[in-house]
Amino acid sequence: MTGASLSTEAIARKNIRRRPWRSFCLVLAVLLFSFFLYAGTVMSVGLSGGARSAADRLGADVIVVPAGYDPHIDSVILSGRPSMFYLPKDVLERLRDVEGIDRMSPQTFLATIRASCCSYPLQIVGVDYESDFIVRPWLEATLGRGLKDGELIVGYRVNGEPGERLHFFGVDLPVAGRLEQTGMRFDSTVFVTRKTVTDLAKAAENIFKHPLASDGSRVSTVMVKLKPGYDSVKVAQEINRRFGDDDIFALFSKKFVNSIASSLTLVSWMIRGGIGLVWLLAVIVIALLFSVTMNERRVEIGVLRAIGASRGKILALALTEASLISLYGAALGVSLGAAAVAVVSPMVADALKLPFLLPSWTALILLGAASVAVSVLTGVLSALFSARRASRADIYDTLRGN
C-alpha cells in the first residue's frame, strides 16, 4: 500500500472517530442490511436445498396411506412427528392386482414416548429391507452393509453415535450408524427392520396395547414404484377408485413435491421482498446521513483543497470513509446473521412445514463473503453522490461555509 493510500485511510479512520454517533448510525444501517441479506439468502438456499432433497429422496411414484391420513403425511415426512397409523392387513395383496406397479416398499411406524422406558420420543420406521428402495441406498452407503435385526441407524438430528445403545420400551438397541442430513423427517427418525419394530411393539405392551404386538404384518405406508410408461396420477386414481372404501388412499408423490415447491416459491418471494425493502431503506439512510456529514465538513474539505488536495484526493477520502464504515457494519451484520440462522432456521422450517437443508460450510463462507461485498458496495455507492458533490465544490465557497 502506498503512502498516499495510507494517509487517506488514516484520515478516514480519524473522521469516523470524530463523529461516533453519526458513524454508529451508518454502521447500524449497513449492519441491518447485511444481516437480512445473509440470513435471508441462507434461508432461501436452505429451503431450496431441502425441496431438492425431498424430490430426490422421496423415491416413490405413489404413496399409499390409510384413508384420512393423507392431509397429515406432509408433516410426518417433513418433520418426523411421531405417528402411528396402519393400513388394512391385506393391503399388499390388493395392490399387487393394480396394473402398472413395479415394486412396493412397505414401512411400519412406531412412535416412542417421553418416559423412562425410552431414551426420548421420536419416530421409529421399520423397513422391509429386501424390497425397500427408499432408505436402503442411504443405509448401505452409511453402513457399507445391510441393516440387521436388533440394530438401528439414526437420522442426522438424533442423539446417538455408532457403538452407543438407545433404550426404547425397555429394550437396548445398538446404533449401527448415522445418516447424512436430508432436511426431511429422516433427520429425526430411527430406522430398524420390520422384525425389530414388531419386537419393540411387543415390548411396549407393558405400557400400552399395540396392534403390532399381535400382528407384525401391519404396515403404515406403502411406497410404490411404477413400471416405465405408467402415469402416477392415473395409477393413484385407480387405487382410490378400487379401494377408497376400504380405508386405503393413494397420492402421487409429485403432488407432495409440487406442494412443497408452491410453498417454497411464496416464502422465497417474501424473503426477497424483505431483503429488497431493507436494501432500499439502507440506501436512503446511508445517502442522507453521508450527505449531512459532507455538509458539516465543507470548511474542512475547503482547507484540504486550499493546501493542495486534489478533487480526486477528496473523493478518495470520502469513499474510503464510506467503505470502512460499510465494512464494519457488514462484518457485524453477517456474523449476527450466521448466529441467527444457526439458532432460528430449524424453528422457522418447522413452523413453515418445509424441508430445510443447511448449505455446506464452504457455501456458507462464500455467501458470507458475497454478502459483505454487496453491503460494502451498497454503502460506497450510496455515499458516492455526496462524495462527488463535495469533491467538486468551489474552494472559496467551501471556506466561507456556503
Model confidence pLDDT, tens digit, residues 76-134: 665 556 777 888 888 888 898 889 998 898 988 888 766 556 666 788 888 888 888 87
Q: Give the model's pLDDT for residue 113.
A: 67
Share of the chain above pLDDT 90, in %: 6
CA 324 to CA 30: how far, in whole Å?
Answer: 11
| pLDDT score, position 250 | 86
State the pLDDT at residue 322. 81
What pLDDT digit, counting tens, does each position of 170-183 carry? 888 999 888 877 76
- pLDDT score at 373: 92
- What type of residue sits at position 313? K
CA 362, chain centre distance (Å)? 15
Instruction: List the beta strands (DSSP E) in 134-287.
Output: 152-154, 165-168, 171-178, 189-193, 221-226, 248-252
Long-range contacts of 87-92 (CB under 8 A, 24+ apart): 87/218, 87/219, 87/220, 87/221, 87/222, 87/247, 87/248, 88/246, 88/247, 88/248, 89/215, 89/217, 89/218, 91/64, 91/219, 91/222, 91/248, 92/219, 92/222
More confident residue, 309 or 107: 107
> What pLDDT sits at residue 76?
62
Cα–Cα dist 156/185, whole Å: 10
Hey, which residues does 190 pair with through a beta bridge? Answer: 124, 154
Q: Phi and psi (nearest 5°) for 177?
A: 180, 180
pLDDT, the chain, mean: 77
Q: Which of 15, 23, 31, 21 shows the shortest CA–CA distance to 318? A: 15
Query: What pLDDT, on the 0 to 100 scale, is given for residue 370?
Result: 92
Predicted local distance difference test score (pLDDT) of residue 12: 55
Distance between CA 305 and CA 173 in Å, rounded? 80
Question: pLDDT by residue (tens digit) across 211-268?
Answer: 777 777 888 888 888 888 888 888 888 998 888 777 888 887 665 555 566 666 777 7
| Per-residue model confidence (pLDDT) at position 260 | 61
The CB density around residue 167, as the number of other CB atoms within 10 Å, is 14
Is pLDDT of 29 > 80? yes
Cell 454517533 -> residue: 21
Instruction: Give the total residue count for the chain.
Output: 402
Q: How confident is the model at residue 1 (pLDDT cuts 50, 70, 90)?
A: very low
Read off the pLDDT of residues 336-356 as tens digits, 9 standing for 90 and up: 999 988 888 767 766 766 667
H or E, element range at 351: helix 311-352
Name the helix (H) or strand (E) containing 110: strand 101-111
What is the bridge-based pairing of β-strands 62-66 and 221-226? antiparallel
Q: Is 336 exposed, middle or buried (0-12, 13-18, 19+ CB in 10 A)?
A: middle
What is the model's pLDDT at position 288? 82
Q: How far apart are alpha carbons 355 and 188 in whole angstroms?
A: 12
- Dist. CA 136–CA 226, nearest whole Å: 18
Q: Where are the domains of the chain?
A: 3-54+260-400, 62-229
Q: Are strands 189-193 and 152-154 parallel, antiparallel or unpaired?
A: antiparallel
Contact 171, 206 (CB under 8 A): no
Q: Which residues, at least 6 apart from 7, have a Cβ–Cβ distance to it below 8 Å? A: none
